[in-house]
Structure 1
């Protein structure tokens, strides 16, 4: 190895974004293995040898680590006290010292034997760099490019790796055309032996949350807080919001001037409807709000323990409160955490009349 080799390594460090210390340490470890493989007669344990590389000139030095003993009996792992003092008079019995044992032809052997290991370590380092970069984006939004579709999966290019958008993570109304740019929510980043794996989603409620944080300054600044989200991706979401500043209307902040803020999010989610709900610590108020756009006449808490409530609405509001295929009440129940039983006013009146007649 020489100065040109060192320059080449430093170019790799620069191009691949790998730590210089990591790469040199990896090479030194590889050279230890190469030495043990080709010069095993000089060593018999993993602690006996170390290799150092001059990071300027590229010179390689192999050292046998030997313990200073008064009365030598193991020439491989020990050195006589008298011999040690000839090297440095300050050495005492029990010290561990480095004795250079670099073979004359080791440079050639090192280059041949270490190449595969070095390449592997470089790959590992590159994977680790990608993993760390993605880990910083976990629970955040990333923009990807659609590559292809196969067996229900959509393959997405994320810059330094390819990720799979599984069927359950796809919005049913979206097509995912080749070369299409889409925003994705990173649910999880995993480190595996084959490199980082990323779980991405277009259906996760976290995507809606992050879009609001990016679109609404009051949320980003912490003035308005998202208290909860219930979502049926591609169809409808309900977002509960609360303002820490009584002078800031949380719903108005999320809607934005002329509705532009929420419309930008709706556009990103392929026209998914979004209900912005005023959060309240009083469950009767929160449940009534959550059933928007329906108007609620009364909320009756039936059980605090089981979190169940009966909702009374005008007959004209019943279908709106329940929603198409029960979607509105289903999303409201998820958002509030309460079991919701909706009754029309006439249904309740009839029950009351029957009870009065029976009495």
Structure 2
């Protein structure tokens, strides 16, 4: 945190911290360590004995005035003219300490930050390590709070089935700080991928949400069938009819009942936008009259969980008849911050 005082010394501290890419407190600590080293050297030059309690001595620097004091408890034992002596002998120690701090620098560029998320000193957070690169001042570790990999890693920490490989996270689409869709599949018979990520009474997904703040999480079952996967991705909308268009453009025409249209699209188009991102298809949605939609077959759909900060009831199953190539989302399981509700048993990082 920058020093707000408008003095020449404070400005110099802020500038040095900015140039080195470290916090001002690191610069102050380096100067105080250098002051103690300079005090020891001054005692040696004057052929005075190093006091037995030297390790207990404390150097203090005023971040506004720049005045340096050597303290034994509450007693000031700073020798006369020490500031000049410290300035002459401490530079090498200061630069060495700052160089060590630069080596340990971890950066989070603005694009890797989550909107409306603010950090304070001493706060414990988990980050996704995107890369370790060689910067101008040495190695840099680039971390992210907005990368989808953070969500994947958090679930891996909470879900034993992911750790054993019986559940695999296949796809993630994320708008950091707002909403995430995550698609999982089971590799072991009898293991429910959605239920595994949600956890009993939502305890697993709740742990992830606690780390991400108010970000909503939609958990769906992955399918190799694109139409079925698109229908699942558009949850919490129900009775979603998907027609895949032939060609290289990967276009899907989707019809939903008029009453479900706003759910399928989502606020500001977010739901369909994330569905397109997680499936890799361009999705065109239109509402259909209930009479038209009732003529379509409802193909059984694996359960999904839409997790947000408000409680919502579980949607009931509906089945209708029609063309077998069309897919209709059938069941949605909603889980709030405290409880997972479902008609059927449907939850890398450093911190």
| Aligned counterparts of 2:247 and 2:237: Cα–Cα separation in 1 | 24
Pair 1:321 & 2:230 matched? no
- Unmatched runs of 5 consecutive residues or more in structure 1: 1-118, 128-156, 351-359
Query: Is contact 1:170-1:202 (8 Å) kept?
Result: yes
The Cα of 1:203 is off from its aligned counterpart by 0.1
The Cα of 1:348 is off from its aligned counterpart by 10
The Cα of 1:234 is off from its aligned counterpart by 0.5
Larger Cα Rg: Structure 1 or Structure 2? Answer: 1
Of 217, 230, 235, the residue aligned with 2:178 is 235
| Aligned counterparts of 1:253 and 1:336: Cα–Cα separation in 2 | 21
Structure 2 counterparts to residues 126-205 of structure 1, below 5 A:
161-192=104-135, 194-205=137-148
| Aligned counterparts of 1:174 and 1:191: Cα–Cα separation in 2 | 27
Query: Is contact 2:127-2:144 (8 Å) kept?
Result: yes
For 1:116, the equivalent position in structure 2 comes to none
For 1:43, the equivalent position in structure 2 comes to none
Query: Is contact 1:241-1:278 (8 Å) kept?
Result: yes
The Cα of 1:246 is off from its aligned counterpart by 2.1
The structure whose residues are more often strand, as a share, is: 1
C-alpha deviations, 1:93-149, integer Å up to 9, x for none? xxxxxxxxxxxxxxxxxxxxxxxxxx9xxx8xx98xxxxxxxxxxxxxxxxxxxxxx
Q: Describe the SS at the equivalent of 2:263.
A: helix
For 2:314, the equivalent position in structure 1 comes to none
Of 160, 168, 192, the residue aligned with 1:217 is 160
| Aligned counterparts of 1:260 and 1:171: Cα–Cα separation in 2 | 24
Query: Is contact 1:303-1:309 (8 Å) kept?
Result: no
For 1:252, the equivalent position in structure 2 comes to 195
Query: Is contact 1:296-1:311 (8 Å) kept?
Result: no
Query: Is contact 2:171-2:183 (8 Å) kept?
Result: yes
| Aligned counterparts of 2:136 and 2:173: Cα–Cα separation in 1 | 36
Pair 1:288 & 2:231 matched? yes
Structure 2 counterparts to residues 1-359 of structure 1, below 5 A:
161-192=104-135, 194-346=137-289
Query: Is contact 1:173-1:270 (8 Å) kept?
Result: no
| Aligned counterparts of 2:279 and 2:139: Cα–Cα separation in 1 | 36
| Aligned counterparts of 2:247 and 2:148: Cα–Cα separation in 1 | 27
| Aligned counterparts of 2:281 and 2:213: Cα–Cα separation in 1 | 29
- Which structure has more RCO (C-alpha within 8 Å, separation ≥ 6)? 2
The Cα of 1:180 is off from its aligned counterpart by 1.2
Query: Is contact 2:257-2:290 (8 Å) kept?
Result: no
The Cα of 1:166 is off from its aligned counterpart by 2.0
Q: Describe the SS at the equivalent of 1:181.
A: coil
- Unmatched runs of 5 consecutive residues or more in structure 2: 1-91, 294-351
